[in-house]
Amino acid sequence: MHAPALPPDTQAKMPAQSIVVPPTPLDQKKFDQAAAAYDAKDYATAYKLFTELADEYDIAAMRNVALMTRDGLGTDKDPKRAEDMMKEAARRGLPTAQYDLGEMLLDGAAGPPDAEAALPWLEMASSAGHPIAQFRLGELYEDGTAVPKDVKVAELLYGAAARRGYDPALQRLKTLKGWTTVPKELYEPGPNETKGETKAETKAPPKP
């Protein structure tokens, strides 16, 4: 599913350095071992295994290493280093990393909040169908933060996120629209969506 088309001026802000590089073949066995270690709260082992995979440019592992580094799990907490690692995974085309990077920048994980820096990453993740990215981007349009205020665009983005099952987006849309019940039309595909995509689940690597 794709988010509603954004105005040309926001599309033009996409980072020129964004690239898509296929990762080296994923060592699924090692990745599963790392995920199992994380679930068992053996963070040192999980971090070690994810790092070994990240060193081979496994972008899902890169993202997990960045999240663990951000939170200080299995390694020293270092939000700035985490942000740099997340940017590498985002630049290589992983939508979940693009959202995570946008969130980190928007919320100021490694420094002052920077909505303008977060904007292009949220746009890319939103265009890839990441529902929370669509919601957070909708908030920027609703508030006029880093983009011209446009409640209609915000509503389209909230609708896209709601169709993917993100309840905060549905609740915000109900408030904006004054709905007491949700019209069935909400679940019809949007202008850049096709049937069969609207309820697709956002795929993401195991998230530390």
Domain that holds residue 74: 7-15+27-128
- Name residues whose C-beta falls within 8 Å of residue 101's C-beta, 6 or more positions apart in sequence: 83, 86, 87, 89, 90, 118, 121
Could you report the per-residue pLDDT of 134-160, keeping only the tens digit for each? Answer: 999 999 999 999 999 999 999 999 999
The domain that contains 41 carries what CATH number?
Answer: 1.25.40.10
Q: Are residues 11 and 113 in the same domain?
A: yes
Q: Are residues 49 and 78 in the same domain?
A: yes
Is the model's pLDDT at 196 over the cut of 60?
no
Residue 138 is assigned to a structural domain of this protein: yes
Please, what sign has the CA dihedral across residues 110, 112, 7, 4? positive
Q: Using only C-alpha atoms, what is the Rg of the chain? A: 18
Q: Average pLDDT, stretch 13-24? A: 39
The reported pLDDT for the residue numbered 16 is 33
Task: Select from 128, 152, 178 the last residue of a domain.
Answer: 128
Task: Select from 100, 128, 156 the last residue of a domain.
Answer: 128
- Name residues whose C-beta falls within 8 Å of residue 28's C-beta, 6 or more positions apart in sequence: none
Residue 206 is assigned to a structural domain of this protein: no
Q: Are residues 148 and 122 in the same domain?
A: no
The reported pLDDT for the residue numbered 193 is 59
Confidence band (pLDDT; 50, 70, 90) for 127? very high
Q: Domain count of the chain?
A: 2
Q: Are 1 and 163 in contact, with CB atoms under 8 Å apart?
A: yes
Q: Which residue has the tokens 């995974």?
A: 89
Q: Are residues 68 and 107 in the same domain?
A: yes
Q: Are residues 67 and 55 in the same domain?
A: yes
Angle at Cα 103 formed by Cα 102 and Cα 106, nearest 5°? 85
Residue 205 is assigned to a structural domain of this protein: no
pTM here? 0.80
Nearest CA to 150 out of 158, 141, 159 is that of 141
Q: Give the percent of the chain with pLDDT over 90.
A: 73
Task: Select from 104, 128, 152 the last residue of a domain.
Answer: 128
Q: Are residues 115 and 140 in the same domain?
A: no
CA distances from 122 to 37, 51, 96, 136 (A): 30, 25, 10, 8
Could you report the per-residue pLDDT of 27-84, keeping only the tens digit for each? Answer: 999 999 999 999 999 999 999 999 999 999 999 999 999 999 999 999 999 999 999 9
Q: Are residues 102 and 135 in the same domain?
A: no
